[in-house]
Structure 1
C-alpha cells in the first residue's frame, strides 16, 4: 500500500450517509440522463458571472496512524462575493423543481464537504489555520496560543473565513426550470461534522489495512499445494509472468492440467506482492464458480489468509419469487440502506469465505437485500468470483469498479473463455420489436385513461380532458407526452418495416429511430421520477430497460456491427443492432484491469479467439500438452454415418443408432451420447425403444429447461458409488453444446465413453448467416466463423468429459464422415494425432482391442 487511501467526496458521502429504501421504480438514467445532466451543468455554469468558477478541484489529506485518507472531488461551482463564498452543487433532475422544499440529504452533505475543504484551504493560505493533524487531537501549547490570537483577530477579511454558504441548484432536465436552495454553515460546525464523517470512514479502511498486511504476509510463505502435474508448472509460470508484466495471456490447457489452481495460485502471488489489488475470477456457469472456490479453499488450508466473495445473480438470490426491488413489495428493500452498513461491517470482520449461503444468512438476519449486500462486500475482499457479466456486460457490469472510465490494478481470470465470444455478442447487441412499442403505448393509454383526441397539449390535459383515478395530474400529463413520443418511435419503425419484405434487410444506420427513442426515454424518466401506479408496471419497466439498452448499444455501433431488420415467425418486425465482432467492446473492459488471462481446454484455433476477444493476434499465448497418456483413451471416428441435413432420415438414424449400440456393447459402463438437436435425440431414442435397447441398458435423457434439481438428479445417476448393484450400462442422451457437454466432472468409472453425433454446427438461422456474410465480405471464411469453429468447440467440450484424471480410461467416438476431411482435422487439438478412422465394424474392433488392453 502506498500510504494513502483515496476516496471521492461523492463516494464518501454515499457510503457513510446512505439511508432509505431500494426502489427500482425511479429509473436509472444511465445513458441519456447523464448526458443531459452534463449539458445542464455546462449551461448553468456558462450563464454565471465572472465571480463564478466552474469545476474547481478540491483535495484534503487527513493523516492517521497507519495511512492518510485523501478526500477529493470537483465542486460544480464556487461563487466569490465581497462578503464570502458560496459552494454551488448542481443537480439535473426530472422532478418538478417547484415541489422541492428541502435539499436531498446526500446532496447537501456533498456540498458541505466541498465547503469545508475549500474554507480550510483558504484559512491555511491566510495563515489563520495550520494543516490538519487528525491523528492527535490534543493541541500543543503553541497551537492553543495561536488559536487564542486568531479569536482576537476580527476584521472583514478574516470574517470571510468563519462561514460559508452551500447552494443546491436543482434544474429540471426537460423544462430547464431552476430552483436554488441555500444554507449557511459555520467553519467550526463544518470542521466537526467533517472530522466525525472521516473518522468513521477511517474505521472501515483500518479494517482493510490490517487484513491486507496479513494477506501479504501469508503469501510470502505460500507454496504450491501439490506436486506439479505435467504442464502445470509451465502454465503457472506463464500466468505469473503475464500478470507481473501487465500483459494479457491466452492459455490453452487440456483437461487434467489443473488449470484453476494454477491460475488462482499465480494470481494470488502477484496480489500478495502488491502488484494487483483485486482478483476477478470470471465464469460462464455456476458450476465453475464452485471450482474456483475450491481452489481458494485449498490455498487457505496451506496458510493463505484471503477474503473472497461469490456473486450470485439477483434473480437467483432474491428473497421474492419474482424480483421486485420496491419497498412496497419487499421488506428487504424497505429501509435497506438504514441497515446495510451494520451488517456489512459484521460480515467483513467475521468472514473470509463469503459464499451465497453466507450472504443469505446475514441478509436474512438483518433484513437487507442479499444481492446488494454481496456487491458491497466485494469492496472489502481480495477475490471476486462471478459471472462474465459483472465485468463485460454494459447493463450489468459493476459500476463501483468500472463506471465512468474507472479502472484499477485488477486481475481478470476468464474461465472457459471460449464461451465469451457468444456471450460478448449478446452483451453488446440489442433489438427492438415494433409490436412491443405499440403494446406499451396502448398500455399507457388504457391505464392512464388517455384518449387520442386529448393528446394535443399539456394545457388540455390540465383542463381535465385527460383523467386518471389513481395517478397525479402531472403523471397523466407526462404519460400523454410519452404516448406521443412512442407514436414517433413507431412511425420510424414503420418506415424501416416497409424496406423489409419477407426476408432480412441491412440498414446503413437507424439514427432517426435512435433520436426518437432518446426523446421517449426523457418522458419515461420524467414519469418514473414523478411516480405512478398502474397494473402493468412490470411490463412498463421491462420495456423501459430494453429501450435504455438499445440506446446504450446504439452508441457503440461501429464497423464491428451489422444493423438489420427481420420478421420473426409471427411476422413481428424487429430491428437488430448485432455485434458480430465483440473484440473492441471486450477489450475496452479488459483494459480496465492490468492483466487478463483467457483460459480454456478448447480455445482452438487460438488466433480465432484472440481476434474476437481482444482483436490482437499478437497477444501472448501458451499451449500446454495433455498430462495424460494417450494409451488411456481411444479416439475413433465412424466415417460410415453422417448427420448432414441432406442425409437425415430414418435410414441414417438407424445407422447412427447401430453405431452407438455397437460401441456401448464393447464394454458395460456409463456413456453419454451427444446429439446436434433435441429432435434427433428423440428420433434416435424412439428407434432405441423400438429395438428394445432401452431394456438392455438404462437410458436417461436431457430435457429442455431442466431445473437445478433435475440436473443434479441426472448427474447423480452417473455416480457409480451409489449404483454399484446395477449391472446394466447407463446411457445419457444429451444435446451437444448443452448443460452436460461442458463443466461437469465425472471421473473414473462414472463416465467411460463420450459418443458425439455430428460436427456440432449451429442451426442455420438469420443471425448465423449475418455473421457468415459479414466475414465473407471481409475476405474471410464466413462459414468457419459462423458455423464450423463454434461447432467444433462443442465437439471438443463433449469429448473432454471422458478423461479427467490420470486413472481414467475411456472412449471418444466421433460419428460423422466430415471429421475425416482436412476442413475439420485442422481444428483438432494436437494431441489428437492418433484418431482412428473407419466404418462401424472397424471402429468397434478398435474399441474392443482398447478395452482388452486395459
Structure 2
C-alpha cells in the first residue's frame, strides 16, 4: 500500500497554481518578520479566535492508495454565526489591488482545504473562509470572507484529488519498481576497495540511527559510491525518503552522475535530478524572469504540470540535457521545472547552496522537518563557502550608482537611497584611519534599510527605466541579502566598515558558520560530510557544526605508501622575503625532480605573482623544457584546452605551473601517466587580509587563532594538490614539498597516515633519491 504524506500548503501550491513566473523582485517579507506579523494579529483577536490549529485528514483514492493531508490553520473563529477558517497572508502588494477572495487562488484554495477538513470532521453543513491580508509597508489590513456549503467544499476537494491522482498513481507505480530493484541490490563493482565496505556500513548505520558523520577518507577508497550505495539501501528500507548529494564543483557532480549510471546498468530504478544554476540553464540571452521578456516564463504554471507528468512517465535520469529537452517541448522555464522535479526524485545532485545558502536554498525541502539525508562531498570546501553564504555586504558604490541613475523627477525612493548613502559616508568620515568593527549592526542602518526595501519593492516589478532598473535591482538584492543575514546574526558574527581605493563596504561577516549549519542539520534525518582532506578533523568538526553524538571517522588510503616518493626539502625557503633569492634553487629542484622519468609534473604556487616570477625564471634557465602555466582569467574553452594537454604527450616532460586552491588543484582525476609528479611550493598559507585577521582574533580566545585562520586552511590546499597524484592502484609518482617549514610543528602532526614514508631531501641528495625510486618503478614494471 502507498501511504503518502503532504502538507495542505504544498498540495494546493502544486495543483492550484497557474499563470506566469513573475519578476522575483516581489519577494515576501523575511521569515522572522512574517512569523511576527502572524503572532501579532493572532494576539489581537477575541477569545473566540483559536490560533495555529493542527488539522490532519486521510483520503483513500482506493484500497491501496492513501493520501494523508496535514496542515495548521492560522486561526479558527467559533462564534454565534458559525465557524470561520482564517488564513493570514503578509504581502507587499497594494491592498486596493486585492479586490476579491479569489485574487490569489492558492491562498483561497488553502483556506478552502482547511475548511473542508474541519467541516467533514465536525459534521458541519456550512463553514466560512476568510483571507486576512497584512500590507507590510503600510501596516494596513484587509479581510475577504465567503461562506461555503459542504456540497461546494466536497466538489472542490474532489476536483483537487482528481487532479493530483495521476501523480499519486505514477509515484506508486514507480516506487514499486524502485523498491523491487533496490531489494538485495549487490555492490555494483566486483570487489570492495580497502576500507570501502567499512565506510559504506558506517554511512548506512548513521542514516538508520539519524546520526551525522564527519568522514576523512583518503583518495582512492571510492567515497562517492561508499555514500550513495548505502543511502539507497536505507531509502529502500524506509529510513530516509530523499538523498541530497551536495558538491562544490561541477566535476564532482559528474562523478555522482556516473556512479548512479553504474547502478542503473544493474537495472536499478532511481529517479535523480541534477540542479543547474539558473544563469547556466536559462534559454534566454539575458536572465529576466518576467512574462514580458521570456516566453518560457509566460504562462509557465499553466503548462508545467503537464510537462512534469510527461517527463515522469518517460524518464528517470533528469540530467541537464533531459530537462532542457522537455522544457523546450512544453515551453516552460528549465530552472523552475528542475526545482519541481526535485519533489519527485530519490536523489538530487546540486551545489551546496541548495541546502545551505539562505538566499537560494530549497525552502520546500527545509520549511518543515523531514527525513532527508544530506551527502556533503568535498566537505573541506564548506567552511569558506558557508562563511560566504552567511555573510552580506552593503556597498557604497552600488548605492551611488543607483543615485546617479535616478531621473530629474526624484521622489521618496530617491530620498531613501540618498539617506543610505549619507549614512555610510558619515561612518566613513568618522573612521578614516583604519577598518572599524562593530559588535552589532547599527540600529539606525537597519531602520533605513527596512524603509528603503518597503519603497523599492512595489516600484521594481513595473520599472521600465533601462538606466535605473539594473542598478536599482542590484541594490535591492544587496539590501535584501543584508536583511536575511540579520535573521541569522549572533555572537560569532562581526560587522566591519572597510574603505579601499575602489569602494567603502559595510560587511556582516560570519566568523564561525557552525550555528547556521547546525540549524539545517536539525531539519533533516542525517548529514554525512566527507572528504579526503578533513585534516585536522577536529577543526572541521568545530566549524562545520559538529556536536555530540556526531561521530568522526577516518579511513586510510587503500594504496601502499611505497607507491609514492614523498620528499620535504629542508634547504628551501618559500616565505615571502626569500622567494626572489630562492628562484635559482627552485629551478634546480624542478630540473632534478624531472629526472625521475619523462611525463607530466604539476607545480603549485601560493599566488599568481609567485607563479609568474618562477615561470619566467625557469624559462630563461631551461628553455628546452616545456612549461605551461595557469592564467587567472581562463575561459571555459581555455580550461578545457589546458586539461586536454594532460591526456596528450604523456611521454614528453612538461611542467604545469598552477595555483594552490585553484581549478587544477582539486576535484580532477588524473589517470595513469597523466601526472607522475606534484611539486608544492610553500605551506599554502592564505594571504594576509582583514577577514583572516578577524578570524584569527576571534579564535585567539581559544588559542586556535593562527591555526584556524591560516595554518589549517593553507595545509588543506596542500593536501588537495598532493591528492592529484596517486588516485588508482597502478599510479606511481613523486610528491615534493618545497618549504623547510614542513619539518617544524605543527606540520608533521598534520601529515595523514599515508604520508608515513616522508623523507627529507636537499639539492645535493634529491637526484639520488629520485633515481632510487625510479629504479623500483622500473623493476616493478619489468
| TM superposition score category, shorter chain reference | over 0.9
**Distance between the aligned counterparts of 2:500 and 2:417, measured in 1?**
22
Asked whether the 8 Å contact 1:256–1:805 carries over to 2, the reply is yes
Match of 1:601 in 2: 532
- The one of 512, 515, 535 equivalent to 1:581 is 512
Match of 1:757 in 2: 681
Asked whether the 8 Å contact 1:502–1:567 carries over to 2, the reply is no
Asked whether the 8 Å contact 2:398–2:471 carries over to 1, the reply is no
Query: Is 1:520 the equivalent of 2:452?
Result: yes
**Distance between the aligned counterparts of 2:65 and 2:142, measured in 1?**
41
Partner SS, residue 756 of structure 1: strand
Please give the residue correspondences for 1:467-478 in structure 2 after superposition, counting only pairs within 5 Å: none
Check 1:670–1:608 CA distance in 2 against 1; reply closer, same or farther (3 A cut): same
Asked whether the 8 Å contact 1:7–1:69 carries over to 2, the reply is yes
Number of residue pairs matched by the alignment: 772
Q: What is the aligned-residue RMSD (CA, Å)?
A: 2.2
**Distance between the aligned counterparts of 1:316 and 1:743, measured in 2?**
20
Asked whether the 8 Å contact 2:234–2:240 carries over to 1, the reply is yes
- The one of 406, 418, 424 equivalent to 2:386 is 424
Match of 1:457 in 2: none
Partner SS, residue 566 of structure 1: strand
Check 1:274–1:636 CA distance in 2 against 1; reply closer, same or farther (3 A cut): same
Deviation digits for residues 478-520 of structure 1 (CA, Å, limit 9, x no counterpart): xx33333334433443443244233222112223122321222
Of 295-304 and 675-684, the range deviating more from structure 2: 295-304
Asked whether the 8 Å contact 2:380–2:533 carries over to 1, the reply is yes
Of 374-383 and 36-45, the range deviating more from structure 2: 36-45
Asked whether the 8 Å contact 2:595–2:767 carries over to 1, the reply is no
* Structure label with greater radius of gyration: 1
Match of 1:647 in 2: 578
Query: Is 1:170 the equivalent of 2:170?
Result: no
- The one of 474, 485, 494 equivalent to 1:542 is 474
Q: Which runs of 5+ in 1 are unaligned?
A: 125-160, 452-479
**Distance between the aligned counterparts of 1:433 and 1:243, measured in 2?**
43
Deviation digits for residues 367-393 of structure 1 (CA, Å, limit 9, x no counterpart): 111111111101111011111111111
Q: TM-score of the superposition, structure 1-length normalised?
A: 0.87
Of 332-341 and 37-46, the range deviating more from structure 2: 37-46
Match of 1:238 in 2: 202
Match of 2:57 in 1: 60
Match of 1:681 in 2: 611
Check 1:634–1:61 CA distance in 2 against 1; reply closer, same or farther (3 A cut): same
Partner SS, residue 831 of structure 1: helix
Asked whether the 8 Å contact 1:610–1:617 carries over to 2, the reply is no
- The one of 251, 255, 265 equivalent to 2:215 is 251
Please give the residue correspondences for 1:201-350 in structure 2 after superposition, counting only pairs within 5 Å: 201-226=164-189, 227-350=191-314
**Distance between the aligned counterparts of 2:265 and 2:563, measured in 1?**
32
Check 1:781–1:646 CA distance in 2 against 1; reply closer, same or farther (3 A cut): farther
Partner SS, residue 718 of structure 1: helix
**Distance between the aligned counterparts of 2:770 and 2:150, measured in 1?**
86
Check 1:188–1:781 CA distance in 2 against 1; reply closer, same or farther (3 A cut): closer
Partner SS, residue 750 of structure 2: coil
Deviation digits for residues 133-173 of structure 1 (CA, Å, limit 9, x no counterpart): xxxxxxxxxxxxxxxxxxxxxxxxxxxx2x44434333433
Asked whether the 8 Å contact 2:275–2:350 carries over to 1, the reply is yes
**Distance between the aligned counterparts of 2:398 and 2:377, measured in 1?**
36
**Distance between the aligned counterparts of 1:514 and 1:390, measured in 2?**
27
Match of 1:732 in 2: 656
Match of 2:499 in 1: 567
**Distance between the aligned counterparts of 1:433 and 1:84, measured in 2?**
55
Check 1:36–1:734 CA distance in 2 against 1; reply closer, same or farther (3 A cut): closer
Asked whether the 8 Å contact 2:401–2:471 carries over to 1, the reply is no
**Distance between the aligned counterparts of 1:204 and 1:815, measured in 2?**
60
Residue 298 of structure 1 deviates from its aligned partner by 1.4
Deviation digits for residues 563-592 of structure 1 (CA, Å, limit 9, x no counterpart): 22211233x321111111111111111222
Asked whether the 8 Å contact 2:217–2:530 carries over to 1, the reply is yes
**Distance between the aligned counterparts of 2:513 and 2:32, measured in 1?**
25
Match of 2:150 in 1: 187
Deviation digits for residues 687-729 of structure 1 (CA, Å, limit 9, x no counterpart): 1222243xx2332221213222222211111114xx37xx531
Asked whether the 8 Å contact 1:251–1:623 carries over to 2, the reply is yes
Match of 1:106 in 2: 106
Q: TM-score of the superposition, structure 2-length normalised?
A: 0.94
Residue 662 of structure 1 deviates from its aligned partner by 1.7
- The one of 409, 412, 419 equivalent to 1:450 is 409
Asked whether the 8 Å contact 1:762–1:787 carries over to 2, the reply is yes
Check 1:76–1:411 CA distance in 2 against 1; reply closer, same or farther (3 A cut): closer
**Distance between the aligned counterparts of 1:690 and 1:510, measured in 2?**
54
Check 1:179–1:243 CA distance in 2 against 1; reply closer, same or farther (3 A cut): closer
Asked whether the 8 Å contact 2:587–2:621 carries over to 1, the reply is no
Check 1:295–1:521 CA distance in 2 against 1; reply closer, same or farther (3 A cut): same
